[in-house]
Amino acid sequence: MKKQFAVIGLGRFGGSICESLSKQGMEVLAIDTNEDKVNKFATIATHAVVADSTDETTLRSLGIRNFDHVIVAIGDNIQSSILTTLMLVEQGVKHITVKAQNDYHEKVLNKIGAHKVVHPERDMGIRIAHNIVSKNVLDYLELSDEYSIVELMAGEAVHGRTLIELDIRAKYGCNIMAIKRGDEINVSPVADESIIRGDILIVIGADSDINRMEQVLFDDD
């Protein structure tokens, strides 16, 4: 069966999630207090309704507890975000993801029972910053305060060398999870796999180790 999602708040973040889930064939209920926004997503989501998510009776009438996952993407109204999350927790929603505006907002959301809290603007800022600082970093995903996954573009310094020659795990404490070459992706590459200039290496490790490895192996300037 298709999973059922509800997206509360149809701003840029919520709208993007709603559209992406719909494209993946999921059943999506789009909710906002703004009628214009709801009308915009009426042809994108499975259902789109004008509703106040801070009203307990309204949420019950929508059958919100029956959804597999509810995303609270309310914009700048932190009070509405917190109240909505609290209502969802009290009604027993299985999975609740909430967009936080700041660290204080996140602390409150975690205390009242949100299952996952995201900072889309902050996270995107971190990814862009890494991309700006290094021409070799194509993408960046923070796993924790210390560990990340990065996509690194292979240059001349590693061209023609095998993974066993580079010995990245022993020298830098990082692991190459996969190698992208054109449209193909090699997951868990073998030790004698040769790297070609232009390959994209997907690397996991501590930030300090990744930075050290990048400076030694990927700085062609």
**DSSP sequence for the chain:** ---EEEEE--SHHHHHHHHHHHHTT-EEEEEES-HHHHHHTTTTSSEEEE--TT-HHHHHHTTGGGSSEEEE---S-HHHHHHHHHHHHHTT-S-EEEE-SSHHHHHHHHHHT-SEEE-HHHHHHHHHHHHHH-TTEEEEEE-SSSEEEEEEE--TTTTT-BHHHHTHHHHHS-EEEEEEETTEEEES--TTPBP-TT-EEEEEEEHHHHHHHHHHHS---
pLDDT the model gives residue 217: 82
Residues of the chain falling short of pLDDT 70: 1, 124-138, 219-221
pLDDT the model gives residue 67: 96
pLDDT the model gives residue 64: 97
108, 81 contact by CB (below 8 A): no
pLDDT the model gives residue 85: 97
Distance (Å, rounded) from C-alpha 17 to C-alpha 49? 16
Distance (Å, rounded) from C-alpha 71 to C-alpha 9? 8
pLDDT the model gives residue 125: 65
202, 186 contact by CB (below 8 A): no
Structure tokens at 202: 């997907």
Distance (Å, rounded) from C-alpha 155 to C-alpha 197? 5
Structure tokens at 186: 């090699």
Residues 84-130 pLDDT 10s: 999 999 999 999 999 999 889 999 999 999 999 998 877 766 666 65
pLDDT the model gives residue 220: 59
